[in-house]
Amino acid sequence: MAGEVLGADDLRLIAFTLQVAALGTLLILPPGLALALALARYRGPGKGALETLLALPLVLPPTAIGILLLEAFSGRTPLGRALAALGLEVIFSWRGVLLATTVMAFPLLVRSARTAFEEVDPRLVGLARTLGCSPLRAFVRVTLPLAWRGILAGTLLAFARALGEFGATIMVAGNIPGRTQTAALAIFHAHQLGQDGRAAALAGVMVALAFVVLWTSEALARRHAARA
């Protein structure tokens, strides 16, 4: 049935949505894991404030994040002008989709990864270090293998968030068919145009995608919990 309602353009925009979400998730992995590890090990002052700040995008309206990003990257700001001079406009371009979705997804990755890192016994890492491992080697050989399920679950959660982001994306990247329109925006747009059949078909595809991602994430988290 979906085949009749969804055209080639719809399949392209679903592919675009998946690509941007995947690229964004890959991009936030290195800084996200570094921050998560730092938060898991750090015990000093300001930890609570930093963690709260980091969680803000989870609880703020996405439109609030959208307006902050617009204020930072608009063509009127020095940053916006500099990027435009380099041919890297963010507003109303696919880079805007990437920016908005990754900002919204970042805290999910960091929170899950932090929990996973916190569950790694620091004595094991210390043991590896006394046996002559470099810090990096200890991280790769001890910490990562023990925490990988939690990290993967967080990565999938971040990916799912990026797939479905709407509010910040429509403000920063606009809703340009074939260029910045993601599946979430296309559902809204189709509804605006009175094409509720197409909107429902796209929603169905998103339900299926989100189910697979979340189910995988939950399954990994459960196995992680069982091991811990």
Residue 91 CB, shortest distance to other proteins, in Å, is 4
Site for other proteins in 119-178 (CB under 8 A): 174-178
Q: Does residue 61 belong to the site contacting other proteins (CB under 8 A)?
A: no
Q: Applying CB under 8 A, which of residues 29, 67, 74, 144 lies at the interface with other proteins? A: 74
Cβ proximity to other proteins: between 141 and 189 the closer is: 189
Residue 15 CB, shortest distance to other proteins, in Å, is 19
Q: Applying CB under 8 A, which of residues 7, 31, 61, 75 lies at the interface with other proteins? A: 75
Residue 63 CB, shortest distance to other proteins, in Å, is 13
C-alpha–C-alpha distance, residues 134 and 131, integer Å: 9
Task: Using CA atoms of 184, 185, 187, 190 in order, give the dihedral in degrees to the nearest 10.
Answer: -170
Q: Applying CB under 8 A, which of residues 36, 37, 91, 100 lies at the interface with other proteins? A: 91
C-alpha–C-alpha distance, residues 151 and 133, integer Å: 22
Are 183 and 203 within 8 A, CB to CB? no
Q: Applying CB under 8 A, which of residues 43, 76, 123, 227 lies at the interface with other proteins? A: 76
Residue 191 CB, shortest distance to other proteins, in Å, is 8
Q: Does residue 194 belong to the site contacting other proteins (CB under 8 A)?
A: yes
Residue 24 CB, shortest distance to other proteins, in Å, is 21
In angstroms, the first-to-last Cα distance of the chain is 44
Site for other proteins in 169-188 (CB under 8 A): 174-178
Check residue 194 and give left, alpha or beta (phi > 0: left; psi -120 to 50: alpha): left
Cβ proximity to other proteins: between 143 and 180 the closer is: 180
C-alpha–C-alpha distance, residues 148 and 141, integer Å: 11
Q: Where do contacts with other proteins occur on this chain (CB under 8 A)? A: 70, 74-76, 80, 91-92, 174-178, 189, 191-194
